[in-house]
């Protein structure tokens, strides 16, 4: 099954130098709910001292005004990425007046979903568009779904690697086409083997009862206000998490055959009306907006997927246009739960494993995904999210069913050589140690983070809320004892001040009527 991977690894090892995919850039996006002292979702606005959420590149908000999103620049060393994320957390905690950052992916107590405050970004057209998009998400999926949090892992191969790898592959085509084609091969394998992430790192096997208000559920009661699934790894990635109803509405599915196919599938989705969403209406009786449009997708970002090809966008540029014009810049893995056992929500060992896993997915054979395999991929992800720790749990693939543990061992064994190369040629070591520690600690499903959470809930007698609230208090105390690195602190403080100035300038500039602005955005530069 991995003959092509083994052949490529031999070539890379023999060539050495820039042919070794070491020193790729790693960035993180970490979401976290602000909660009030009573543990309920914060009703306060985004702290002014953190800057303007619309224009700050590193500290912003996601769906809710209370859902912080901390973004790191990309670094070649995982430890540097983690240090920046730590320092951003420190500065945020210093500005939280009696509030905490929730340490779980699944949200805190929410008595009334209508009280989840939707993020606001000021009075500029760009700010209004971001807010209305979120209003639309609330109408389409419910506000509760939008405050589920996670960690996104952004990764790009070193620029010098690509020409060396293209030579090894004996490819004489255009370099950009080679890069795009290989990033999409990586993405298909991240989906094909994507069940690994919730199994190894899933940390949401339980949820607060308030999350399920007025919803039918198969979840059991653990104790108190806690619902759980006995063998679950990541309810966030399961059928109670965030899903795309437009797939049921019109069978919309993004295409991952190549860049052109992907861009075309999303472009059609943001321009194709959907009767399901037309029932919501675009405008309300007072002339305001209920959603940006009634199409399958309001904008491309609405399409939820475990992985996305990304290109850095220019101001008010559509993601599909950025990809079409400049190709794939990096890959975003979106299936990581927040790790409640690490104050930052992701450990250094996890980061090193994911980087090596990304390289494994690049080098392994990656045929196009047919309809049968697409069903396998979707089923494997959902089944692992709900039942991945069950005894003799099996996954589906073309060759027939296979035990999760057996398939996992095959992949981890192939990753050893990749980790060895990264240790020998990368800017920092620790990859092989991280792989071996993870392999040993996860050999027994009872040692996974999800199993550990259920065990601690049982032993402590705490319900999900009390357990997570206690962790949030501990993490807050830890951050407040830390001192941020001077360079990162200065950078973050300067960006906070600059973001306020930038938002003010946008709001003071002459603006077209919002309807015209919106129409021009969807037409795009070639419209």
pLDDT digits (tens, 9 = 90+) for 357-402: 999 999 999 999 999 999 999 999 999 999 999 998 999 999 999 9
CA proximity to 303, closest of 257, 256, 270, 261? 270
Q: What is the pLDDT of residue 246?
A: 46
The answer to whether position 293 is within a domain reads: no
Q: Total structural domains in the chain?
A: 1
Q: What is the pLDDT of residue 525?
A: 78
The answer to whether position 283 is within a domain reads: no
* pLDDT level of residue 241 (50, 70, 90 thresholds): confident
Token representation of residue 94: 């210093």
DSSP class per residue in 327-381: ---EEEEEEEPP-TTSTTSS-HHHHHHHHHHHHHHHHS------HHHHHHHHHHH
Backbone angles phi and psi of 299, in degrees to 5? -140, 170
pLDDT digits (tens, 9 = 90+) for 271-323: 999 999 999 999 988 889 999 999 999 999 999 999 999 999 998 999 999 99
Q: Rounded to an integer, what distance in angstroms lies between the CA atom of residue 121 and that of residue 316?
A: 14
The answer to whether position 427 is within a domain reads: yes
Length of the chain measured in residues: 527
DSSP class per residue in 313-337: PPTT--HHHHHHHH---EEEEEEEP
CB atoms within 10 A of CB 510: 4
pLDDT digits (tens, 9 = 90+) for 86-137: 999 999 999 999 999 999 999 988 889 999 999 999 999 999 999 999 999 9
Q: Do β-strands 59-61 and 220-221 pair in parallel, antiparallel, or remain unpaired? A: unpaired
Backbone angles phi and psi of 253, in degrees to 5? -145, 130
Answer for the pair 149, 33: CB distance below 8 angstroms, yes or no.
yes
Please report, for the domain that includes residue 440, its CATH number. Answer: 3.30.590.20
pLDDT digits (tens, 9 = 90+) for 393-451: 999 999 999 999 999 999 999 999 999 999 999 999 999 999 999 988 888 899 999 99
Element (H, E) at 495: helix 486-508
The answer to whether position 285 is within a domain reads: no
The answer to whether position 174 is within a domain reads: yes
pLDDT digits (tens, 9 = 90+) for 54-97: 999 999 999 999 999 999 999 999 999 999 999 999 999 999 99
Q: What is the mean pLDDT of the chain?
A: 95
> What do you get for the CA distance between the two ends of the chain, in Å?
46
Residue 245 pLDDT more than 80?
Answer: no
Q: Rounded to an integer, what distance in angstroms lies between the CA atom of residue 176 and that of residue 15?
A: 22
Answer for the pair 223, 463: CB distance below 8 angstroms, yes or no.
yes
Q: Rounded to an integer, what distance in angstroms lies between the CA atom of residue 509 and that of residue 483?
A: 39
Report if pTM > 0.85: yes
Q: Which residues contact 195 (CB under 8 A, 6 or more apart)?
A: 380, 381, 383, 384, 388, 395, 404
Sheet holding 226-228, edge to edge: 206-208, 226-228, 220-221
Answer for the pair 210, 109: CB distance below 8 angstroms, yes or no.
yes
The answer to whether position 264 is within a domain reads: no
Residue 263 pLDDT more than 90?
Answer: yes
The answer to whether position 272 is within a domain reads: no
The answer to whether position 284 is within a domain reads: no
Q: Rounded to an integer, what distance in angstroms lies between the CA atom of residue 335 and that of residue 511?
A: 38
Domain range for 363 is 3-243+304-523
Bridge partners (DSSP) of residue 35 are 41, 100
């Amino acid at each position: 099954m991995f003959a092509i991977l083994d052949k490529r690894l031999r070539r890379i090892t023999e060539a050495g130098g820039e042919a070794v995919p070491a020193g790729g850039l790693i960035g993180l996006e970490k979401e976290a709910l602000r909660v009030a002292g009573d543990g309920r979702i914060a009703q306060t606005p985004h702290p002014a001292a953190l800057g303007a959420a619309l224009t700050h590149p590193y500290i912003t908000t996601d769906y809710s005004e209370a859902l912080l999103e901390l973004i790191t620049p990309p670094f070649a060393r995982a430890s540097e990425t983690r240090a920046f994320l730590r320092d951003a957390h420190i500065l945020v905690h210093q500005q939280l007046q009696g509030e905490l950052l929730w340490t779980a992916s699944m949200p805190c107590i929410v008595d009334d979903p209508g009280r989840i405050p939707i993020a606001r970004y000021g009075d500029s057209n760009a700010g209004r568009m971001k807010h209305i998009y979120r209003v639309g998400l609330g109408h389409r999926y419910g506000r509760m779904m939008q405050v589920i949090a996670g960690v996104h892992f952004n990764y790009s191969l070193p620029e010098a690697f690509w020409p060396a790898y293209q030579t090894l592959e004996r490819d004489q085509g255009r370099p950009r086409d080679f890069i795009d084609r290989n990033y999409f091969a990586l993405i298909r394998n991240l989906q094909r083997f994507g069940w690994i992430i919730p199994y190894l790192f899933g940390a949401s096997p339980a949820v607060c009862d308030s999350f399920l208000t007025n919803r039918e559920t198969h979840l059991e009661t653990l104790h108190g206000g806690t619902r759980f699934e006995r063998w679950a790894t990541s309810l966030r990635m399961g059928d109670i998490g965030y899903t795309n109803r437009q797939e049921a509405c019109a069978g919309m599915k993004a295409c991952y055959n190549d860049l052109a196919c992907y861009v075309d599938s999303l472009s059609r989705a943001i321009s194709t009306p959907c009767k399901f969403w037309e029932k919501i209406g675009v405008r309300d009786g007072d002339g305001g907006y209920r959603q940006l449009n009634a199409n399958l997708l309001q904008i491309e970002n609405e399409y939820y997927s475990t992985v996305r090809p990304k290109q850095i966008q220019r101001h008010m540029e559509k993601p599909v246009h950025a990809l079409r014009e400049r190709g794939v810049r990096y890959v975003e893995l979106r299936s990581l739960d927040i790790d409640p056992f690490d104050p930052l929500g992701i450990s250094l060992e996890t980061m090193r494993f994911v980087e090596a896993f990304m390289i494994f997915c690049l080098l392994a054979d990656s045929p196009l995904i047919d309809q049968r395999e697409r069903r396998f991929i979707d089923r494997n992800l959902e089944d692992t999210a709900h039942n991945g720790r069950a005894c003799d749990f099996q996954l589906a693939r073309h060759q027939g069913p296979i035990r999760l543990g057996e398939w996992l061992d095959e992949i981890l064994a192939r990753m050893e050589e990749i980790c060895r190369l990264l240790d020998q040629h990368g800017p920092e070591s620790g990859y092989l140690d991280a792989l071996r520690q993870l392999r040993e600690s996860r050999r027994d499903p009872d040692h996974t983070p999800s199993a550990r959470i259920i065990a601690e809930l049982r032993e402590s007698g705490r319900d999900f809320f009390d357990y997570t609230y206690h962790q949030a208090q501990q993490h807050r105390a830890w951050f407040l004892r830390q001192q941020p690195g001077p360079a990162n602190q200065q950078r973050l403080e300067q960006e906070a001040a600059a973001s306020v100035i930038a938002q003010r300038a946008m709001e003071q500039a002459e603006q077209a009527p919002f309807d015209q602005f919106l129409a021009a955005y969807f037409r795009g530069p070639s419209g």
